[in-house]
Structure 1
């Protein structure tokens, strides 16, 4: 299963070389063998609740019941007991959780504003398409046919809701968003196994624990690498906060606590083992990449066709700038010339970082960045209704 294409290139000739140097020790790929069982493991508790609720009452009805439960609204005693049993297995305020540090991580996600969303879209999301197996659930659930606009809308909505400080308390919107996402994963897994010709021996179970950890690494280590490439220089406390924040999110999503990295060194090691045991990208990978490449052209924002084409070129520039030409060629992404204008954003980020001289400065940039992300969320919500 050792990857011989873009992921291997990442560690041998790409930015992974720098990450391994930072790690300061050699990694033995044979150690990845211990993770093989994770390909066949998934979220049993989430699957059981979805079986007991969503499969009996319908997916939409099950999600409304979750909202009613968290909102302390009327539910039948039978359904309430099912949710009681599920949440009894989750410690929503574990002893290891530091809410102040978690908020620092949320604020790091907000502070870069549009740059955070660029990194998520053009580096984390697009780069993830380089693995054939992890993206198969998108194909088997019809997400490819629904289009990239819908997936980006959902991702931005999730991001804005969970990164808002104070929004992860039990019954808050961010907390509900995470649990809802967990149930979506379970529902998708159950339906894929039930309704399709899923090849478990080749891809593991759908949305398995190993791939869930990879998604977690995308929001932490890969995101962090992307921010730095874009001119953002998080402090040591911000980095610690980022991993703490996502440790709690990953825990709520049903990822075993023992797997979740608590610092950058652990994350680099996990990322190496996951990427280097992935199958190369395939035609589905290239189709997903193409759909994301063309998303700006098919969107309803900006309003003019010319500006939408320009947006496509800008994102293509960031794809090449962040992923590198080798990965972009593997994914079949077009090259761009006019998109190079987007480099101005990287220069702006560098100037902004130099302008942060105090805690007050940092707070102001957090507020500004959060407002930018909320504006993008509203745009996606508006034009997604028209697609």
Structure 2
């Protein structure tokens, strides 16, 4: 089997994570270090993608335009009348998608969404400053962002979209039929397909070197970022994740991954499966390159470029606080690779960590926990509204 350029066994940058960083604790939980040679079996996934969604782009999006096609998707999901040709396209797409598969456990789904909401602002900090920023360490998975002009559009747009997606899918009953969360999932799936089709059609993308854009292997990595990596970040911030919550989060993201078009057999059912998958993915990534640091720098400057807070000095303060969280969560080694400077004034961010740990001490299994879930969800919804108000 030919090994593509992007597939590098025993990458040096992520090796540090597994030998000296947080990954060392994950391997201790797993009880063994996976054999990196086993990762070669996943190479075909670099050339596997969501063909069904791509077909929608060819049949509908390229004919009526992305804005009209997205509206058509939402109207279809709301059972609104559509032209016959549009209804046919969506009927063909959704006929094989079971929104209530026999393996789905609604109780686990609820527990997973509740953990996503319970930490409130801390969840969004972890997503931004740990999961998203840390993901830039891999050169390959981020190439589609470069080819779709993400740097020109700015990190603010990506944060607006990510917060919208997160808050809508994690709301109470956020994945019920007709919910905004469900619409966001299929909208995201179409955006992925639209980006992939047009990267391949209108650019010099080198598939032999980088694989297919937004392929199944990289989609799995994104799913692990929202589940396993997210929970690791929460624990570093002082959140105590129960075994029931952990099981719920993996089930929650298994369902979302399935709806996003990731092959079901790839999605982890538990922490051990997730750790092993993350090991194989990270340890076959090439080190970051110039694009890595450009994307990291754009995200670093996002608070300054955003329109909130309205005071420019306060936006600069927000940048420094996020830099503190980058260093606190990712560690100095990763921040050096990403080109992120250290900060002094941003250390005020430690106050939120103290607050989080103090609140966690008060949470049991009764009314305090339920209050934290409600309050955390409201806090995240408030952030979503701010992004929508000031950055549209």
Work out the CA distance in 2 between the residues paired with 1:310 and 1:73: 46
| Offset of residue 193 of structure 1 | 0.2
Counterpart of 2:154 in structure 1 is 147
Secondary structure, counterpart of 1:188 in structure 2: helix
Say which of 256, 259, 266 aligns to 2:263: 256
- Is 1:285 aligned to residue 296 of structure 2? no
- Is 1:268 aligned to residue 292 of structure 2? no
Unaligned runs of 5+ in 2: 1-7
Counterpart of 1:346 in structure 2 is 353
Work out the CA distance in 2 between the residues paired with 1:153 and 1:357: 33
Work out the CA distance in 2 between the residues paired with 1:27 and 1:288: 31
| Offset of residue 63 of structure 1 | 0.7
Counterpart of 2:3 in structure 1 is none
Counterpart of 1:102 in structure 2 is 109
Work out the CA distance in 1 between the residues paired with 2:52 and 2:246: 31
Work out the CA distance in 2 between the residues paired with 1:23 and 1:179: 34
- Is 1:15 aligned to residue 15 of structure 2? no
Secondary structure, counterpart of 1:53 in structure 2: helix
Work out the CA distance in 2 between the residues paired with 1:135 and 1:313: 24
Secondary structure, counterpart of 2:102 in structure 1: coil
Q: Any conservation in 1 of the 2:11–2:285 contact (CA below 8 Å)?
A: no
Q: Any conservation in 2 of the 1:3–1:280 contact (CA below 8 Å)?
A: no
Counterpart of 2:63 in structure 1 is 56
| Offset of residue 2 of structure 1 | 2.5
Say which of 305, 310, 316 aligns to 2:317: 310
Secondary structure, counterpart of 1:358 in structure 2: coil
Unaligned runs of 5+ in 1: none
**Cα deviations by residue, 1:95-133 (Å, 9 ceiling, x for unpaired):** 110112101100100000000000000000000000001
Paired residues for 1:1-387 under 5 Å: 1-2=8-9, 4-385=11-392
Q: Any conservation in 2 of the 1:3–1:279 contact (CA below 8 Å)?
A: no
Counterpart of 2:5 in structure 1 is none
Work out the CA distance in 2 between the residues paired with 1:341 and 1:324: 17
Deviates further, 244-253 or 350-359: 350-359
Work out the CA distance in 2 between the residues paired with 1:359 and 1:141: 47
Work out the CA distance in 2 between the residues paired with 1:357 and 1:93: 31
| Offset of residue 144 of structure 1 | 1.1
Work out the CA distance in 2 between the residues paired with 1:221 and 1:268: 7
TM-score by length of 2: 0.97
Deviates further, 138-147 or 342-351: 342-351
Deviates further, 352-361 or 276-285: 352-361
Work out the CA distance in 2 between the residues paired with 1:312 and 1:371: 24
| Offset of residue 357 of structure 1 | 2.3
**Cα deviations by residue, 1:277-304 (Å, 9 ceiling, x for unpaired):** 0111011110000001111112211121
**Cα deviations by residue, 1:236-262 (Å, 9 ceiling, x for unpaired):** 100111011111100000000000001
| Offset of residue 4 of structure 1 | 3.2
Q: Any conservation in 1 of the 2:11–2:284 contact (CA below 8 Å)?
A: no
**Cα deviations by residue, 1:21-60 (Å, 9 ceiling, x for unpaired):** 0101231001100100000110011111221111111111
Work out the CA distance in 2 between the residues paired with 1:158 and 1:218: 15
Counterpart of 2:4 in structure 1 is none
Secondary structure, counterpart of 1:89 in structure 2: coil
Work out the CA distance in 1 between the residues paired with 2:152 and 2:33: 42
CA RMSD of aligned residues (A): 0.9
Work out the CA distance in 1 between the residues paired with 2:51 and 2:315: 43
Work out the CA distance in 2 between the residues paired with 1:117 and 1:3: 31
Q: Any conservation in 1 of the 2:126–2:234 contact (CA below 8 Å)?
A: yes
The 1:47–1:69 alpha-carbon spacing in structure 2 relative to 1, beyond 3 Å, is: same
| Offset of residue 3 of structure 1 | 5.0
Work out the CA distance in 2 between the residues paired with 1:376 and 1:169: 23
Work out the CA distance in 2 between the residues paired with 1:360 and 1:274: 40
